[in-house]
Every structure is written in structure tokens, then in C-alpha cells.
């Protein structure tokens, strides 16, 4: 018994001192997820991808400008009246960038092809779907194709023409945010002449765009606006033509009187042909356009000639020169009267010297022209006092030979001095 007791004590001690690892617990059964049920612990949901912005669709535009005529067969009256080809032996506007802020330009039109750079702030297309911009561009810079029996030419065919499209409409129905953008785009492209043949309400954005252009020495030329008989007395001044230091332009008829459609409520600087105007059109020509839009284009072309011939003049001096050399007021709404491209380019005004590129006589003596703006058309023939710098009598004789016979031949318009023969630089 004593031996059995000792053996039992040893067995008990062995069991008491065995390590815990030696006792293996029963394994926990593994949970298996069925295909149609999630596991006991749900996984993190996948991250939501960033949506890709849907691109703004290009607006659909009806592009059907009115049908043009195939060709022009006679020299337009405005071209005869302004006689700007007389100064082409001095300059055709080379080196000057002119921006046409409008409805676009037909870059395939025969007298514009290869001479237009196009910009579009509408994000539609650069094509002219209205015709208006092409008509304006042609007056400014249509190429000389008279040797091909095309009698129409632009005022300054040597310019670099930039089309800045801001609209696909042929009318304005309120403020257009694209107009100030287009003017700023023209300024950024270093345009020294910006033609705005459109009217708009006065807004801070438009004022700011014009001031920015002028701060960069751009001459802004703008249409005074058109009115109907029903509009008269109810329409106020048009912008940007009415802003300070902008060359606002009124419209004149072939007989030299203010066109009925010209907005006389807008204070203008000068006037230009704006009735029965022939010009370029998408696919051809327009023989009978009317409006201050086209009058403004004649002035822009003239400004380009002045800027090319007198590169040292700033935008305010160019404006003053255009006004000082115009033919004289014909009433309220005409400003200083019909522009005179020949004198604008060549006249030697008070305070200028003979080295400024003014017109000269056959013996290379400049003709000094002291201009006093006449009150009406009847007195404009006496507005030019021509005196010689060296000898007054001889210069007056030259002036008589230049002005009087030409005026008599033309009858209905004053004579234009013939500029000296000098190639364009």
C-alpha cells in the first residue's frame, strides 16, 4: 500500500507541472461565406471615381448669309469721292494691324483671301454667318484687283487684317459679354486700329475694354448707330462710339448730306460714306449696303494709312488729325464732316515741321495747310489756306493749280492734292 501511494503521488505531480502548450484546445470552426452572402466582416466599399466633366457642346449656328452678287462692274461712288488711291504711292497701310471686331470674315472671298487672320471668341467657328464682318473688312483692306476688272478696292490693302469674331447675329439685343472680350483680344494681338461697327449699351466691362485698348495706343473707331423713322427721338447715344477719345463715325449719303439712318444723338468725330455702299460679301459682293457700320470702316482704313505714314503719332494725335483734315460739318451728327484721306495722310498741320511726311510740291517744298473747321458744306471750299514755307506767292500758285481745277472737274467734291511719288517703306 505504501508503494502504491508513492506512485500515485508521482503521477499527480507530473500532471500538475506539465506546460500549458501541451494542452491543445479544440480548433474553432472556420466560417465560409456563401457566394450570395457577404462574410461576417464586410469589406470597405470601393472609392467613388471622380466624374469626368461633360464637354460643352459647340453651339449649332445657322450659317446662311444673304446671297451676294457675283461681281461689281463700276467703281463705287464712295471710292471716287474719297479718292484714297492717291496716297498709295506713299503708303497702303503696311505695318499696321487692324482688327475687325464683328461677325467674322469670309477668308475665301477673292479680295480678302490670304490676308486675314481669324480669332473666334464665340467658340463656334470663325466663318462669317451674317456677312456684316466681311463687308466691313472689304472696305478697310480689300486687295487691288483692278487689273482683273474688279473695280472695288479697300482703303488700306497693305494692313495686317485681324478678324475677331464675337457674334453670329446681325443685330444687337442687349449687352453682349463677348464684345468686351473681343476688344481685349484685339488689343492683345497688338492691333493699332480697332474697328467696332456695332452699338451696345454702356457697361463697365465695355468701358474697361476700351480704356485698355487706348492704354495700349490703339485707335478705336466705332459706328454712331442706325435709327429708323420710328426710333428718332427715342434712341440715345451709342457705345462705344460715345466714349471719350473714340472716333465715332456718322453716315453720309452720296449727295454729302447726313443719311436718314445715322444716329445723330451720338456725338461723332467725323463722317464717311454710309449709304448705297458697295463692298465685299461672303462668296461675292454686296452692291447697296447702308449704315454707320460701313462709314466706320472707311474711317478705320484712313486711320491705318495715317498710322503707317505717321508712326510717331499716338492715338489721340491720330484722332485730332483725322478731325482737322475732314471736309467740314454738314450739320448735327456729322462731326467735322466727310473724312479726307489724302489730307489726313499728307497735310502739314500747324505746329508740324516739314520732316513729318506731309505733302510736297514738285520742287519738294512742303505745303502747309492751316485748317479751320467750316460751319457747313457751303463754306468748306474756303477752309484750306495754303501757304508756302519758303515763298507764299509761289505756294499759292501751286495750290491754285492743285485745288481749283480738280474741284471744277469733279464739281461735286473738293479737289485733293496729288501726293509726291514715293515708294512705301
Task: Give yes or no: 217 in active site.
Answer: no
- Nearest-CA neighbor of 200 among 228, 235, 173, 234? 173
Catalytic residue among 103, 115, 132, 300: 132
Catalytic residue among 163, 251, 271, 293: 293
Q: Are 142 and 152 in contact (CB under 8 A)?
A: yes
What is the DSSP secondary-structure string of 105-139?
--TTSTTTTTSEEEEESSSS-SS-SSSHHHHHHHH
Residue 367 DSSP class = E
What is the DSSP secondary-structure string of 202-260?
--HHHHHHHHHHHHTTPEEEEE--B--TTTTTT----BTTTSTT-EEEEEE-TTSSBPT
Three-state secondary structure call for residue 369: strand
Long-range contacts of 405-414 (CB under 8 A, 24+ apart): 407/381, 412/255, 412/256, 413/81, 413/256, 414/327, 414/380, 414/381
Task: Give yes or no: 132 in active site.
Answer: yes
Residue 422 DSSP class = -
Active-site residues, by number, are 102, 132, 293
Amino acid at each position: 500500500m505504501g508503494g502504491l501511494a508513492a506512485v500515485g503521488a508521482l503521477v499527480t505531480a507530473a500532471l500538475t507541472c506539465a506546460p500549458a502548450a501541451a494542452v491543445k484546445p479544440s480548433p474553432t470552426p472556420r466560417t465560409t461565406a456563401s457566394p450570395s452572402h457577404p462574410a461576417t466582416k464586410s469589406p470597405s466599399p470601393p472609392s467613388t471615381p471622380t466624374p469626368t466633366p461633360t464637354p460643352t457642346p459647340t453651339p449649332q449656328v445657322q450659317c446662311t448669309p444673304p446671297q451676294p452678287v457675283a461681281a461689281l462692274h463700276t467703281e463705287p461712288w464712295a471710292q471716287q469721292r474719297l479718292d484714297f488711291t492717291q496716297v498709295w504711292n506713299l503708303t497702303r497701310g503696311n505695318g499696321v494691324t487692324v482688327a475687325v471686331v464683328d461677325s467674322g470674315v469670309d477668308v475665301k472671298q477673292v479680295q480678302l483671301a490670304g490676308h486675314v487672320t481669324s480669332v473666334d471668341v464665340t467658340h463656334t467657328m470663325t466663318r462669317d454667318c451674317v456677312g456684316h464682318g466681311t463687308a466691313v473688312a472689304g472696305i478697310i483692306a480689300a486687295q487691288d484687283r483692278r487689273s482683273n476688272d474688279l473695280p472695288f478696292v479697300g482703303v488700306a490693302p497693305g494692313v495686317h487684317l485681324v478678324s475677331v469674331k464675337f457674334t453670329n447675329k446681325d443685330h444687337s439685343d442687349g449687352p453682349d459679354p463677348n464684345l468686351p472680350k473681343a476688344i481685349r483680344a484685339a488689343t492683345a494681338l497688338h492691333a493699332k486700329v480697332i474697328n467696332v461697327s456695332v452699338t451696345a449699351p454702356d457697361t463697365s466691362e465695355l468701358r474697361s475694354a476700351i480704356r485698355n485698348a487706348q492704354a495700349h495706343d490703339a485707335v478705336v473707331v466705332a459706328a454712331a448707330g442706325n435709327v429708323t423713322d420710328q426710333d428718332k427721338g427715342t434712341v440715345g447715344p451709342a457705345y462705344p462710339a460715345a466714349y471719350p477719345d473714340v472716333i465715332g463715325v456718322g453716315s453720309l449719303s452720296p449727295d454729302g448730306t447726313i443719311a436718314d439712318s445715322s444716329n445723330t444723338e451720338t456725338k461723332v468725330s467725323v463722317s464717311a460714306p454710309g449709304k448705297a455702299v458697295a463692298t465685299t460679301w461672303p462668296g461675292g459682293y454686296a452692291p447697296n449696303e447702308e449704315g454707320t457700320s460701313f462709314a466706320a470702316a472707311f474711317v478705320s482704313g484712313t486711320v491705318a494709312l495715317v498710322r503707317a505714314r505717321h508712326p510717331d503719332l499716338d492715338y489721340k494725335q491720330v484722332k485730332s488729325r483725322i478731325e482737322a483734315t475732314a471736309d467740314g460739318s454738314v450739320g448735327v451728327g456729322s462731326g467735322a464732316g466727310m473724312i479726307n484721306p489724302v489730307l489726313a495722310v499728307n497735310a502739314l498741320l500747324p505746329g508740324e515741321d516739314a520732316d513729318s511726311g506731309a505733302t510736297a510740291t514738285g520742287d519738294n517744298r512742303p505745303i502747309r495747310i492751316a485748317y479751320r473747321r467750316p460751319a457747313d458744306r457751303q463754306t468748306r471750299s474756303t477752309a484750306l489756306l495754303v501757304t508756302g514755307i519758303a515763298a507764299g506767292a509761289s505756294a499759292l500758285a501751286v495750290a491754285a493749280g492743285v485745288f481749283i481745277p480738280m474741284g471744277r472737274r469733279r464739281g461735286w467734291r473738293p479737289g485733293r492734292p496729288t501726293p509726291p511719288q514715293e515708294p512705301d517703306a
